[in-house]
Amino acid sequence: MKNFKLNVLILALAVSGVAYAHGDEDHSKAQSEPVIDANGAAGYGQPMPAGTAVPIVNVVDNPAEFATGTHKLSGRISKVCQSSGCWMTLSDGEKSARVMFADHAFVIPKDSAGEAEVFGTVSVKVIEEATAKHLAEDEGKDPSKVVGDTQEIRISATSVVLKATQS
């Protein structure tokens, strides 16, 4: 009986470790309903602080300049997690950064597009191959094409505002 309990405990730890390593967090409790402002923009997470947003291209061109503190940043949404809406990529042309939602507190619609502003911290992350494959799969891409570790600029956002599209 003692060995059975030990084996169950080891199996439970192994399964939870695999889920953690692959980013299979439970997003079921994440905020998914936006707060719509007077201009029709959809806000997620904490209220967006006032101030002018810095274009994402500035961060990509000089990430060290943004490595401390929190920043309000802007760009065009180029990708969204197709599994649960738990991250997006902000771009300006070919330059982009991945935006993860801090503490998985909220998700955005998987069909989000257009201009957005985010508020959060910036870092440069080395992404292990297994995680990069998982992210590729979330993007709807073939994970088998991911080979080796990658590096990306990452924003951990506490606030996201999806700008209203102009008709």
Which residue type sits at 90? L
Query: Residue 70 phi/psi, 5° resolution?
Result: -110, 150
pLDDT(12) > 90: no
pLDDT for the residue numbered 98: 94
On whether the CB atoms of residues 45 and 88 are closer than 8 A, the answer is: no
Say yes or no: domain 31-162 is CATH 2.40.50.200.
yes
Looking only at the bridges linking them, the beta strands covering 42-45 and 150-162 are antiparallel
pLDDT(120) > 90: yes
pLDDT, one tens digit per residue, over 72-83 is 999 999 999 988
Taking CA atoms, 109 is separated from 31, 40, 73, 74, 113, in Å, by 11, 15, 20, 18, 9
Dihedral sign for Cα 54, 60, 66, 68, please: positive
pLDDT, one tens digit per residue, over 25-47 is 444 456 678 999 888 899 999 99
Query: Residue 13 phi/psi, 5° resolution?
Result: -65, -40
pLDDT(23) > 80: no
